[in-house]
């Protein structure tokens, strides 16, 4: 996904001379082509996330369309007030890009975990929050984020995730149907979609066919699709690699309470806890029961209810 991001950004910047890129000293060799192609429009602010945001915001206030890039935890929690005060409040066209959200850098420790980024960014007025799940999705969504001409947070996964097939293209603000189904729907955001699809493959072999939706846009939440879906299924399962407060689960549950949800709502995801032990990402997902096996188990139980 990171390669797709870099290539898409470079392509968009070639077409739009107002696009500039600011990094917080991260992305070794990832943005070489951008840097070489657009000198002056590639800026390394150094290990200075506040300054990264200032540079992006100050330039945006002068008519530039800027991208600020760092590891997700350092892109969001570290300069949160700069984002709030200098980007969201003045409503400036800055796309904040957080690499490796969730527990992608799980073995690096809590410093590198970003399981609260969606909550932090969703709390900000004017902010659009997007977590693509595969290279194609980021390629499709990035130009739509530039077209917003306002503040956005977008996550980028690692190198080399598989691209998945989907029933429809990725449209900003709209839930994306990955697999048609019945009775049960599994919805996720970000690259947990890949884990959900693994579970889906296991389930279909058993004759269990749930809907799978990728909610790449966390904010604004596509409540229209959720509303229709909740009429069609008995159980909605939200899978998230995010703390239980303020992420996709929170958003869906909040909407469900307001609307009077006609179906059951389940959550699979980490508890309200720091992820200690420096486990590998798949081990962590297993321990906290939101890996493919746990997703398949939960779906199977819901299907047979």
Partner 1 sequence: MYATALDERARTIRATTIQMAHDGREGHLNGALSCVELLLCLFDGWLRIPREQEKAPERDRFIFSKGHACASLYAVLAERGYFPVSWLDRYATDDSPLPSHPCIHALPLLDCSAGSLGHGLGMATGKAYGLRLDGNSSRTVALISDGECNEGSTWESATFAASHKLDNLLLIVDNNGVQSVGRSDDLMGGTSLEEKFTSFGWAARTVEGNTTAAVKMALSEVPFVKGKPSVIVAKTTAGAGVSFMQDQVLWHYRVPSDDDLQRALQELGATPLHKRSNP
Contact set with partner 1 (CB under 8 A):
20, 40-41, 43, 45-46, 48, 50-51, 53-64, 81-82, 85-86, 89-90
CB of 127 to partner 1, least distance (A): 16
* Sign, CA torsion 185/190/192/197: positive
Q: Which residue lies nearer to partner 1 by CB, 40 or 260?
A: 40
C-beta closer to partner 1: residue 50 or 279:
50
CA distance 177 to 222: 12
Q: Tokens for 266, please give them.
A: 């389940």
Minimum distance, C-beta of residue 57 to partner 1, in the bound complex (Å): 6
C-beta of 53 vs 96, nearer to partner 1: 53
| Least distance between partner 1 and beta carbon 14 (Å) | 17
CB of 256 to partner 1, least distance (A): 33
What distance in Å separates the CA atoms of residue 204 and residue 8, rounded to the nearest whole number? 34
| Whether the bond into 3 is cis, omega within 30 of 0 | no
Written as one string, the DSSP assignment of 212-229 is EEE--EEES--HHHHHHH
Query: Measured from the CB of residue 16, what is the shortest distance to partner 1 in angstroms?
Result: 14
> Would you say 52 or 268 has its CB closer to partner 1?
52
Smaller CB distance to partner 1: residue 41 or 242?
41
Evaluate whether 169 touches 221 at the Cβ level (below 8 Å). Answer: no
């Amino acid at each position: 996904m990171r390669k797709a991001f870099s290539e898409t950004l470079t392509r968009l910047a070639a077409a739009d001379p107002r696009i500039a890129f600011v990094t917080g000293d991260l992305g070794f060799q990832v943005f070489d082509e951008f840097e070489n192609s657009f000198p002056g429009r590639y800026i390394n602010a150094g290990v200075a996330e506040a300054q990264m945001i200032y540079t992006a915001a100050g330039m945006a206030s002068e008519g530039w369309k800027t991208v600020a890039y760092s590891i997700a935890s350092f892109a969001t929690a570290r300069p949160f007030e700069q984002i709030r005060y200098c980007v969201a409040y003045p409503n400036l066209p800055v796309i904040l890009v957080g690499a490796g959200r969730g527990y992608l850098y799980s073995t690096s420790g809590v410093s590198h975990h970003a399981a609260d980024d969606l909550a932090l960014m969703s709390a900000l007025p004017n902010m659009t929050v997007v977590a693509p799940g595969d290279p194609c999705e980021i390629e499709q969504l990035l130009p739509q984020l530039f077209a917003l001409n306002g503040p956005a947070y977008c996550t980028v996964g690692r190198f080399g995730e598989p691209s998945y097939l989907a029933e429809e293209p990725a449209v900003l603000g709209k839930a994306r149907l990955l697999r048609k189904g019945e009775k049960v729907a599994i919805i996720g955001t970000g690259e947990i979609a890949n884990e959900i699809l693994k579970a889906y493959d296991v389930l279909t072999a058993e004759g269990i066919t749930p809907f799978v939706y990728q909610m790449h846009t966390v904010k604004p939440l596509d409540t229209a699709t959720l509303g229709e879906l909740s009429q069609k299924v008995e159980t909605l399962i939200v899978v998230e690699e995010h703390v239980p407060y303020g992420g996709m689960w929170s958003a869906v549950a909040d909407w469900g309470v307001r609307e009077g949800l006609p179906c059951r709502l389940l959550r699979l995801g980490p508890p309200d806890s720091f992820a200690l032990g420096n486990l590998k990402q798949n081990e962590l997902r297993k321990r906290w029961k939101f890996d493919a096996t746990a997703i398949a188990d939960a779906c199977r139980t819901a299907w047979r209810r």
